[in-house]
Chain A
Amino acid sequence: MDSLHAIGFYVSSGISLAGGLGVALLPLRDQRGASMAVAGIGLAGIYFSLSAGFAAGVALVCYVGCAALLASVQYRTLESVASVLGRQLGAIGAAALVALLVYSAWRGDFVHGAFFGGAFGAASVGRVLLAHDALATEAVAAVVLVGLAGAVAAWRLRERAR
């Protein structure tokens, strides 16, 4: 990987992590939605610098969609029943998870290979999705359909109840 790709990777990583922390810490839903969009832009940059251009495009569209959902007027809050102690224990667990993942990445013994890294990859990824992994693709499509149908049904019920 040359220096330009490495710089792109590190800058995109910083943008994505900053967006992720914004989603976790910012108080307003508009701000959290904007942070999710920033995280998506950074994620797309990471994918692009790793020679996964098609995945970068799909991730950008999907995460901007997530941001729009989180910042939309249909957003409603649901208070959690978890106590303050439970949330603090969960945060400590998240920190322990990061420590475990960093340790495993640092101490892991990986075999390095070679990849030409030039292709945008849309046709190749399409062949993988629609030929080799067609069943998994259809399963995810079913999940998307159920999610969108559920959101539309919930919205219609709420509108009818008004």
Chain B
Amino acid sequence: MAEIAADGGGGKHKGGKKRGKKMSTRVDFTPMVDLGFLLITFFMLTTSMNKPKTMEINMPDKNVKTEEEKTKVKASQAVTLLLTQDDKVVYYFINPKTGEPETPEITNYSKGGIRATLLRENKARNPYVDSIAIYKEQLNIGNINEATYRANANRIKGYEDGLIVVIKATDKSNYKNMIDILDEMLICNIGRYAIVDITPIELEMLKTVNLE
């Protein structure tokens, strides 16, 4: 038991006033401890410790419609991803010589799927992309601060001739597919991407690979 020593100055008064029987001041703390642990348990169960994580996304202004205001994209640096059903992704490039779309390829969201393609293509177009990893390492060691890292990473990601990804989701895809593909943009350090509505031509193209 937790106890408070009852050590009054009993010996001082000898044969003076008559005193009442000395009561022990020891208090049983057990119920208090019980209550304490009960409350701890309650708060531990109701608390939500980890705050949700978010990903930010910027969409273009809908009202900008004039041709010169639209961002011009070189055919050679763009890749179009079509998100379709059954967690499949179809991607195609535009042939820079003919301006015609190349044969679409089917892949998935796994590590060896779309990520491998994106990493390879981005590296081919943006020679500086590997330095983001070096900056990240420096940040972890503590040689550079967060702001420096972010400034450099953004500069590299915004490289003019880097890969530009156009994301088009069909009605058969789901929200998870979209988050997954936005996640790949983060993982592959692709700074320039856009979510765009799918066109009828691309829906036709999907039919040629037996998807819709």
A and B co-occur in one complex: no
Residues of A at under 8 Å CB distance from B?
none
